A and B are shown apart, each in its own frame.
Chain A
Amino acid sequence: GESVGLHLPTLSVQEGDNSIINCAYSNSASDYFIWYKQESGKGPQFIIDIRSNMDKRQGQRVTVLLNKTVKHLSLQIAATQPGDSAVYFCAENGDDYKLSFGAGTTVTVRA
């Protein structure tokens, strides 16, 4: 079956710097990926998604890159703010509905 994982469990970043969070997946048939942000005590919050027919997608201060050749996904956050401190998950949407989550990267923003 497919699996989704993140390279690093924690990331510490200076306020104002850019953050890059990485994720690897194993199922080459995966065609839809989503990044979620989860703050302590809350449910996952949608950040941005990308389909396999794209390499890059941009949102407000966030960019997702998809490299299908090496099965790698990344989330870039520009000008990181204290409110960006959270756990970030990449997820693959298999079978059109079954989200498979990685273990998460905890991002801590230093003032």
Chain B
Amino acid sequence: NAGVMQNPRHLVRRRGQEARLRCSPMKGHSHVYWYRQLPEEGLKFMVYLQKENIIDESGMPKERFSAEFPKEGPSILRIQQVVRGDSAAYFCASSPGRGVEQYFGPGTRLTVT
């Protein structure tokens, strides 16, 4: 049973470009979460999605950031017009339900130049 998969593992974008981060949850998991980690800090919650629904996006900036988890395919975290402050590690987690263990992927390290 493959774990949570994220790609790309490393992504470099120039300021103003778009970044697309993909997450494939574990088999059988329909709950997906995105977290952001700045250097030397803990992870910060961004958004919680179930298939085709955004449940809670309270941790996600209102501008430039969006997330989706379509019926088919991976969850996508999209950052438009990236700025240097978006440079961070973005982790996706999945779970089979609410209130249970979340399994994390290896992360995507975004660098904005």
Contacts and interface: CB of A to CB of B under 8 A. Distances in A.
Q: Does A pair with B?
A: yes
Interface of A: 4, 32, 34, 36, 41-46, 49, 89, 91, 93, 95-104
Interface of B: 4, 31, 33, 35, 40-45, 48, 55-56, 59, 91, 93, 95, 98-99, 101-107
B53 to A, nearest CB: 13
Nearest to A31: B99
Nearest to A44: B104
A99 B45 contact: yes
Given A42-B106, A42-B107, A43-B106, A98 B45 contact: yes
Given A43-B91, A43-B107, A46-B101, A104 B42 contact: yes
A102 B42 CA distance: 6
Given A89-B42, A103-B42, A97 B104 contact: no
B99 A32 contact: yes
